[in-house]
Amino acid sequence: MNISIFICDRTLLSVVKDLTKTCIENKCGINLASSTCCMNLILEKASKSSKNDLYIVSSRDIVSDSNKLFIEKISKIGESNNLIILRRGNDSISKIDSLNISSRRVIDASGDNWQKEYFDSLSDVINEYLDKAADSFVLHTNKTFISIPYDEINYIDTEKQNHARTIYYGNKSASINLSLSVIEQNLDKRFLRCHRSIIVNTDKISEINGEELYIKLKDNKVLPINRNFIKLLKTDKSG
pLDDT of residue 197: 93
Domain end (from 84, 104, 134): 134
pLDDT of residue 93: 57
CATH of the domain at 94: 3.40.50.10490
- Report the chain (239 residues): mean pLDDT per 10 consecutive residues: 68 71 62 66 59 71 63 66 71 58 69 79 76 68 66 90 84 86 84 94 94 94 93 68
**Domain span at residue 182?**
150-238
Domain end (from 91, 110, 134): 134
Q: What DSSP line would sit under 9-62, residue for residue?
A: -GGGHHHHHHHHHHHHHTT-EEEEE-SHHHHHHHHHTGGGS-TT-EEEEEHHHH
Contact 169, 152 (CB under 8 A): yes
Contact 176, 187 (CB under 8 A): no
For the chain, the domain total comes to 2
Domain end (from 104, 134, 164): 134
pLDDT of residue 12: 73
Determine, yes or no, domain membership for 143: no
pLDDT of residue 128: 74
